[in-house]
Amino acid sequence: MREQGYTGSEWSVYRYLETLKQAEVKASVNPARIQKYSVNTAVWLFVRDPERLEEVEREDLAAFCQASPPLTRAYCLIQEFLTMVHQREGERLDAWLEKIKESGLPELQSFAGGESNETKLL
């Protein structure tokens, strides 16, 4: 992967693969369960360390990712950002920002561009 230009950490790859493993649980996951989540609770699920999630939360996260490819992209990008911050890998920020530009996810693009909801209202 590095030969193809990947500059991320091994941990980022691990987390992404872990997400894919969780998505394999999808056959036993009822997507209707995710309707119980408020927006704030769902966001909290996306920003937590996946290793610290309880089993039911892992299943619900898999259901979110199964329900929507954009949510899967958002989850991976959020986890990559959190890993970058926790490991103090600021040199990866420009590459991450480029991924956000290409992601097609306006909410993350607003976050990366420093826009807030208040700015949008003005």
Q: Is 49 helix (H, G, I), strand (E, B) or coil?
A: coil
Asked if residues 73 and 105 have their Cβ atoms less than 8 Å apart, the reply is yes
What pTM was computed for the model? 0.66
Q: What is the pLDDT of residues 23-62, one digit of tens each?
A: 554 445 566 777 788 888 888 999 999 889 998 898 888 8
Domain around 25: 2-121
Cα–Cα distance between 12 and 1 in angstroms, integer?
Answer: 12
Roughly what angle, to the nearest 10 degrees, separates helices 106-113 and 93-103?
A: 140
What the block records as the tokens of 113 is 């561009």
CA triplet 122, 70, 34: central angle to 5 degrees? 95
How many distinct structural domains can be found in the chain?
1
Q: What is the pLDDT of residues 56-113, one digit of tens each?
A: 898 888 888 888 889 999 999 999 999 999 999 989 999 999 999 999 999 888 888 8
Q: Is 107 helix (H, G, I), strand (E, B) or coil?
A: helix
